[in-house]
Structure 1
Amino acid sequence: MKYKWLMAVFFLLPVCVVRAAEPIPGKFRMYLKEIRSDRIGNTPGVITYQVVSPDRLYVRITWNLPAAVSQDSLNVSVLPAFTPGFNWAPLLTPEKHHVIAQHVFRAPALIVANDAKLLSVVPDLDLLQQERSVPWYMDMDAIRNQLVLGMGNTTVKEHVLFTRAPGAVFPKGTVSLGFYCLVSEKKDALQNPFQQTVSFLWSKWGAPLYREGEPLQRTDLDPYVKQTYEWAFKNWRPAVWQELELDGKKVGAPVFIVNMTQSPNYKGIPNQREFRSVWNQAWFNSLRSAQGLYRYARRTGNDTLKQYALQTKELALSFRQQQGFFKSVVATEMEEVTVDGKQYMRSKGWDTRYWGNSNRNPYTWDARMAPYHIADMSFTAYWMLVWHNELEKDRRLLEYAETYANALIRLQDKEGFFPAWLDLKELQPLQHLNRSPETSISVTFLLKLYAVTGDERYRSSAVKALDAVMKNNLQQGQWEDFETYWSCSRIGTEEWVGKKIPRNNMYKQNNFSIFWTAQALLEMYHVTREKKYLVAGQRTLDELLMWQAVWQPPYMAVRTLGGFGVMNGDAEWNDSRQSLFAELILQYGQLLHRKDYNQRAIAALKASFVMMYTPLNPGTMQQWQARWPFFNAKDYGFMMENYGHGGVTDAQGLGIGEFTIYDWGNGAAAEAYNRIYDHFGAGLFRTNF
């Protein structure tokens, strides 16, 4: 009779609770084979199930401890009732000692699927905010078909993966761990395994915070933009603004990077972190930032700022083309000087300038010797077309882009891909990433050029290229690009390129190429009106959104909603790429009438200013002052590109960096705001989506 009564409750009420002694409820047994729980000391966990909806099950495990227990870790294992072919997790755990630390719980989930079933396991972030005695973690063992949620200390290994660490102490009383299981066998969910989780995470945690005003308690972002330009072109101008004469023209741009020793308030001897340079590449792009400055100057009638922008445009056009191709970096020679027994890096000045390419590549750290990078050239040429179309009808920009495009399409292989890197002398493809989704940024550029010229060659080349990415990269999650392996996170450089990590059934992934592909798919849909591109574009966008923070962790000392991480082998929050992503998310939101996408876009744009040192961000400002107490009003606008990059943070400034990259920080954020302002109007920022 006891069991019959319980089943009656199950069918009569929308929410029910079933004890662990009972089987996994109803249809969920089609997706969940078993849930196993470790003991804490000698105390077993009590598992309860709550059917929230036909496709959502809530699971909680509770331990009632009569005394504190020292125990290194606690695992709860979820065993799917089917064999997946698809796996997704926010961080790689290539060996059994690796875990996904709560530090990277931006939009935490473990997703598995095959042709018939999908299961997503999402930690209960409300419970995590309460259960703060022992940190949480996740793990995904694809070989054993096991999803794990756990509790225990972690430590950083490599750059940046996490491993288990000893020393956890579970306190006397009740300890709980909870999670949601989202399931589906619907065709659209199987085609897009991210959408169900993306929607749930935002509706459950992101949207309520957004409605409260997170991540910034203001709708007017102009003050941030004003402080950015005052910082770059007034208070820090001697360190930031670089000016030189080329072919009788005065050209210039903000320098690639400055650090805290270059502050006007720093009492010590300045030291330059990297070689003095200006970049126009797929990451740090002075031409992109200058467009934001131009838009702002036009809107405010500031001719001085407009002249700075025009000088940067002239610098971009000064990069000479070699059979259509062009370099991405102009730099000065550097020297090391000794003062009082300490070494400091100095520039020898712009009279020693040389032209080169990004040193974030597989071949050399020397920018002078670095090969041409197709993604850098396509990205810069794309922004030349934006400037030509929206700011000035400068024929030189269009001609420069056309010359490059004609060289580019001759490189396309039979399948449709563009190579990644070209030898400096022979202009022939090198060996890395020649079938990668870096191709997608060239698709967007070619479609932009087709829209301007009507030349069918550019459209045909773009269609062929995007179809290759859809066939070979998109469904497989092979999101490998230059940043995946050849920036700061170099784990797997020798053994993982082009291969899945078996324990996770995933490639090492970077979301630059996800963004480029989502952008290319949307542009292709607008050109062709073929629905397959929109469907694939939304799937790719949803995968991108799995990197966006949907909550405010209690262990993060800055505001996090809307900010983006970078890859499944690193640990950043609030990375500057969110400024690049914001308008694309908004474009999908407007087209698909998706309120959640619109909210996410505005949150991403606001998050782009969260790391700024300014009274407008009192919480962030406290962190800056804890790290660099000499900062004052002359430093307002200084902004690190991200937060918590090293995998650890605290409330005393740990996780705060030491440098600003104008073109990948405050200048990039200002550009995004000014562009979105021009495209959608000031009212957008006051809209209650």
Structure 2
Amino acid sequence: MMMRIIYPILGMVMAFTSVLHAQSARITALPLQKELKLPASFETAVEKIQYDLLENENGESRIEVVDENCLHIQFIFSTDKAVKQDDWQVSVTPAFSPSFHWAPHLTPTDRHIIDQHVFRSPALIMADGRQVITLIPDLDIMKKGTPVRWYLDLDAEGNRLVLGMSNSRVDDHVLFVREPGAEYPAGEVEIGFYLMVNRDEPSLKNPFRRPLEFLWKRWGHGLYQDGNPVDADLERYVEHTYNWAFNSWAENVWQEFELNGNKVGAPVFIVNYTQSPNYPGEVNEREFRSVWNQAWFSSLRSAGGLYRYAKRTGNTDLMEKALLTKELALSFPQVEGFFYGLIGTEMHEVEIDGKKYNRSKGWDTHYWGNSNRNPYTWNAAESPFHILDMSWTALLMLRWYDELEKDERLLRYAEQYAGSLLGIQSESGFFPGWLDLHTLQPMAHLNESPETSMSATFLLKLYELTGKQEYKEVGLKAIDAIIRDVIPSGRWEDFETYWSCSRYGSDYLVGKKVARNDMYKQNNFSMFWTAEALLESYRLTGDRRYLEWGQRTLDEMLMTQASWQPPYMYVNVLGGFGVLNADGEWNDSRQSLFSELILQYGKLLDSDEYNERGWAALKASFVMMYSPLNPVTKAQWEKVYPFFGKEDYGFMMENYGHGGRTNAEGEGMGEFTIYDWGNGAAAEAYNRILDKFGKIK
């Protein structure tokens, strides 16, 4: 395919728009090179920019100097007939050898592309020790709709940043590969991008700050000010949540039973649409009936929010339910200080009218287990102890003790665990990933991972409450290991990276980069734990090194937050989060967990952008709820489940577009609610943030 070369421009002296015309690719290079003289400083950043013709159409290119660090480059093709062309692309070749690469999604082969489905805060970044170059698609063009899907690609081996147009299909869960058949209708085809070059020390230390600032200022801020992603009083969503869980869906959601003569209770792990009181068929439970205290699904976390709400509203019934969930958490058996992450029931199949349905045998058949999202077994009863899950639950116990009620049992339980945790820290500072159920010895995976950050935060909190210096020393040693071995290379590997729904690379990629992208498979969950641990480290020591690394980590996490509203997303997405660079979610429930941390950084750094991003994340936590408060989302739900009615107000899927595709007919809406990773988690975040920050301003 013929290529055309644009030589780059930079500098305030070039503050004009240049419209370039050419008759053919053959004659463009020399005239352009002579006509557009470059400041010498920019030649060290960009060697060349090349772009395809559209069939035989040269089109026109427009290069605008936005400021001394940013160009806006635009291409316009006008055709008098439909054009079939499988691929069109523009590539930017840096004039240096980058040592750092970042892209929002993996493209492990040249067949793979970063489809527009995952353009949340879309950017490609390359850097060395002297400069950072960033490519950001022109989202104003995308907002108008495009005849062919846009994509990005980062080819580290070929030293190219690419923006293109092509059909694609979902491959694996979830990568994207090119597909033939793209067709452009007669008329005008427009595509463009912003190219930023920064050489200042803050950009070299934190290559994510400038792109995030640019994206939010240009697209996110205005949307947020206009009332996106939701404009209703969040208190009303919380009312829907608790009415749904403890009233209209209570028969299937609320679980209450006895353990050793003590009454305990909690909302069930998961329910699906067949458990709606309006569903015309038989109930078919999606997974084994259970209650979890794990890094995702934490009944103790949700109960803390319910406690706050019940205290604020004087609701004694809901207060009792919150306390029953706390009792359940304290009932989890400890084995030499370590403890289980879930309680489940045995399941069986029942046959009704010739069809089989999954049902629980009841809480009399209960057993203790751990999360089955691990490298070893899908059987929760046989799953190993997970240090991350235990440290998170123990941290929540400390926060309950510190912020809600001085139940000494919570402190004792957490400190008993801490004594065992101290004994398994490695010389390098990390904590292991999993412990064998029987020997309590570390197993083979993630023994030097950023999951360690959660244990650091737990130990620092325990130091704060007890004053015992050893907890602080061990916690800081752990976070220092993360600074040294994880953050600079972006090695954000945790249990969800490989052993949840996105299994790509779990058999060969753990601990290794994807060579073509010079990136690890990454998950933003471990970015959150690390940014939180670094903030606590700074708060307790005053050492600005922790704050600087914390902000960089927070910003990398924010690169997975939606900074705009794509026209091909059929619910509001501003402020919502994706998950990892090999999956397709928008509006994932983790945003409710992330929101307070973003606000904490915003308050500390006096950042309006962080404040808006934090509030937007909290609001986005309620977007997927079936409710008249969300008319756009409600219409999507009813396309999928037309039997939904007012009894279902509060039903909320944990994310949107998980499979890598959405459409106006409801594709991407899902089928279940996880109270502790959905509506209950969002309500908890709202109640916690309300207590700490007050009403949204």
**1:106-505 matched pairs, under 5 angstroms:** 106-218=120-232, 220-505=233-518
TM-superposed CA distance for 1:513, in Å, is 0.3
The aligned counterpart of 2:71 is 57
C-alpha change, 1:45 and 1:81, in structure 2 (3 Å) is farther
**1:505-584 matched pairs, under 5 angstroms:** 505-584=518-597
Distance 1:152 1:113 in 2: 27
Distance 1:309 1:509 in 2: 35
Q: Is the CA contact 2:10–2:69 (under 8 Å) kept in the aligned structure 1?
A: no
TM-superposed CA distance for 1:339, in Å, is 1.9
Distance 1:433 1:249 in 2: 37
The aligned counterpart of 2:25 is none
Distance 2:368 2:14 in 1: 70
The aligned counterpart of 2:88 is 74
Segment drifting more, 49-58 vs 170-179 = 170-179
TM-superposed CA distance for 1:197, in Å, is 0.5
The aligned counterpart of 1:104 is 118
The aligned counterpart of 1:17 is 18
Q: Which amino acid aligns with 1:598?
A: N
TM-superposed CA distance for 1:60, in Å, is 0.9
The aligned counterpart of 1:610 is 623
Distance 2:659 2:147 in 1: 22
Long gaps (5+) in structure 1:
1-6
1:35 aligns with 2:12: no
C-alpha change, 1:263 and 1:128, in structure 2 (3 Å) is same
TM-superposed CA distance for 1:9, in Å, is 13
TM-superposed CA distance for 1:42, in Å, is 1.1
Question: In the TM superposition, what whole-angstrom CA distance separates every residue of 1:629-667 from its partner, at most 9, and x where no partner exists?
Answer: 000000000000000000010111111010000000000
CA RMSD of aligned residues (A): 1.4
Distance 1:49 1:70 in 2: 27
TM-superposed CA distance for 1:13, in Å, is 6.6
TM-superposed CA distance for 1:135, in Å, is 1.1
TM-superposed CA distance for 1:248, in Å, is 1.5
The aligned counterpart of 1:4 is none
Matched position secondary structure for 2:421: helix
Q: Which amino acid aligns with 1:295?
A: R
TM-superposed CA distance for 1:349, in Å, is 0.4
Distance 2:284 2:12 in 1: 70
C-alpha change, 1:38 and 1:8, in structure 2 (3 Å) is closer
The aligned counterpart of 1:620 is 633
Q: Which amino acid aligns with 1:375?
A: L
Matched position secondary structure for 1:368: helix
Matched position secondary structure for 1:652: coil
Q: Is the CA contact 2:10–2:65 (under 8 Å) kept in the aligned structure 1?
A: no
TM-superposed CA distance for 1:525, in Å, is 0.1
TM-superposed CA distance for 1:150, in Å, is 0.5
Distance 1:439 1:9 in 2: 44
Distance 1:459 1:646 in 2: 42
The aligned counterpart of 2:661 is 648
TM-superposed CA distance for 1:174, in Å, is 1.8
Distance 2:208 2:581 in 1: 16
Matched position secondary structure for 1:515: helix
Distance 1:24 1:337 in 2: 77
Q: Is the CA contact 2:290–2:345 (under 8 Å) kept in the aligned structure 1?
A: yes
Question: In the TM superposition, what whole-angstrom CA distance separates every residue of 1:445-496 from its partner, at most 9, and x where no partner exists?
Answer: 1011100000001000001000001000011000000000000000000111
Aligned length, in residue pairs: 677
Distance 1:51 1:150 in 2: 22
Segment drifting more, 331-340 vs 433-442 = 331-340
Distance 2:37 2:362 in 1: 70
Matched position secondary structure for 1:35: strand
Distance 2:386 2:643 in 1: 40
Distance 2:56 2:338 in 1: 68
Fraction of identical pairs, as percent: 59
Question: In the TM superposition, what whole-angstrom CA distance separates every residue of 1:90-116 from its partner, at most 9, and x where no partner exists?
Answer: 000001100000000000000000101
Matched position secondary structure for 1:188: helix
TM-superposed CA distance for 1:8, in Å, is 14
Distance 1:401 1:616 in 2: 40
TM-superposed CA distance for 1:23, in Å, is 4.0
| TM value normalised by structure 1 | 0.97
Counterpart pick for 1:659 among 667, 672, 675? 672
Q: Is the CA contact 1:18–1:25 (under 8 Å) kept in the aligned structure 2?
A: no
Question: In the TM superposition, what whole-angstrom CA distance separates every residue of 1:140-165 from its partner, at most 9, and x where no partner exists?
Answer: 11000011100111110000000111
Segment drifting more, 35-44 vs 190-199 = 35-44
Segment drifting more, 335-344 vs 584-593 = 335-344
Distance 2:386 2:38 in 1: 54
TM-superposed CA distance for 1:10, in Å, is 7.9
Q: Which amino acid aligns with 2:364?
A: D
Distance 1:9 1:424 in 2: 61
Matched position secondary structure for 1:534: helix
Q: Which amino acid aligns with 2:17?
A: C
Long gaps (5+) in structure 2:
1-7, 21-27
TM-superposed CA distance for 1:78, in Å, is 1.0
TM-superposed CA distance for 1:680, in Å, is 1.2
Matched position secondary structure for 2:151: strand
Matched position secondary structure for 1:175: strand
TM-superposed CA distance for 1:371, in Å, is 0.1
Q: Which amino acid aligns with 1:83?
A: S
Distance 1:8 1:417 in 2: 47
Matched position secondary structure for 1:51: strand
Distance 2:219 2:37 in 1: 26
Matched position secondary structure for 1:474: coil
TM-superposed CA distance for 1:171, in Å, is 1.6
C-alpha change, 1:396 and 1:42, in structure 2 (3 Å) is same
Question: In the TM superposition, what whole-angstrom CA distance separates every residue of 1:497-520 from its partner, at most 9, and x where no partner exists?
Answer: 000000000000000000000000
